[in-house]
Amino acid sequence: EGIDLEVLKGASDYFGKTEIFLVEATVVSKHSKNDVVTVINYMKENGYKLFDITDLNRPFNPKVLWLIEMVFIRENGLLDSQKLVEYGV
């Protein structure tokens, strides 16, 4: 929990070779360096863009959005909508 950004930094050899990354990020935690904006910016800097949000996590009362799970795809990769149009999908 909360170390996805550190894991991504350690797996940087996979950038450009991997089509999809699933990443969890915090929304309201003031103490986490793994916040949504930081993760999105980091992935963009490494050639990936936000494709989908697969989970909205509200584990505590009040039910404030705490964590989200995001899907990032490689820009101009096989799943990028620009490429899908080119392939006629």
Q: How far is CA 63 from CA 30, 58, 67, 83, in A?
A: 17, 5, 11, 39
- pLDDT at position 63 is 83
> Hey, what are 28's tokens?
């309201």
Assess whether pLDDT exceeds 60 at residue 89: no
pLDDT digits (tens, 9 = 90+) for 13-71: 999 999 999 999 988 777 778 889 999 999 999 999 999 999 888 887 888 888 889 99
Per the model's pLDDT, the better-predicted residue between 84 and 47 turns out to be: 47
Assess whether pLDDT exceeds 80 at residue 76: yes
| Continuous segment of H or E residues that includes residue 82 | helix 81-86
Domain boundaries of the chain, sorted by first residue: 4-86
- Spatial distance between the Cα atoms of 41 and 49, rounded to a whole number of angstroms: 9
Q: Where are the beta strands (DSSP E) in 1-89?
A: 20-26, 48-57, 67-74
- pLDDT at position 58 is 84
- pLDDT at position 69 is 93
Residue type, 68: I
